[in-house]
Each structure stands twice: as C-alpha cells, then as structure tokens.
C-alpha cells in the first residue's frame, strides 16, 4: 500500500467524524425546506470544526487524485 492510501483512509475517517459532530440545531424539517433559523453565523468551535472539515475534504480529494496519478 502506498502512502496515499493511508492518507486517504485517515482523512476519510477524520472527515466522517467531523461531519458527525457538527450540530446546527436544525431538525429534519428545516433541512427539507421547512421553516427554521437557517441564516446563522458560525462562531467559536463550530467555525473551527467547519473549517477543519473543508481542509480534510480537500486533503481527501487531493490524496485520491495523487494516488491515481502515481499509478
């Protein structure tokens, strides 16, 4: 296995964890178009977790592309 496989797997696990711990306080109805307070700003740890999720997603995608190019 190449290093890209380990990076891909690690970033996948971390990204899944970060997505699952994000809480927005919105119920299923708000996610499907129901009324809710959707226009809120992210602050503190919520913003940090959101930014880490984006970075982890970029690392995941980049590691997949590099793995394909390296083969």
Instruction: Report pLDDT for 54.
Output: 95
Q: What is the pLDDT of residues 7-57, one digit of tens each?
A: 999 999 999 999 999 876 554 445 555 555 555 677 788 889 989 999 999
How many CB atoms are located within 10 Å of the residue 13 CB? 12
Q: Model pTM?
A: 0.71
Domain ranges of the chain: 1-20+44-71
Query: What is the per-residue pLDDT for 34?
Result: 54
Distance between CA 32 and CA 25 in Å, rounded? 14
Helix, strand, coil share of the chain (percent; to 5): 70, 0, 30
The answer to whether 64 and 8 are in contact (CB under 8 A) is yes
Strands (E), 1-71: none
Q: What is the rounded average pLDDT of the residues 1-10?
A: 89
């Amino acid at each position: 296995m190449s290093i890209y496989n380990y990076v891909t797997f690690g970033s996948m696990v971390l990204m899944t964890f970060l997505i699952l711990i994000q809480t927005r306080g919105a119920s299923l109805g708000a996610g499907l178009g129901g009324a809710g307070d959707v226009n809120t700003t992210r602050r503190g740890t919520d913003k940090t977790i959101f930014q880490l999720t984006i970075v982890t997603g970029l690392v995941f995608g980049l590691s997949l592309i590099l793995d394909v190019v390296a083969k």
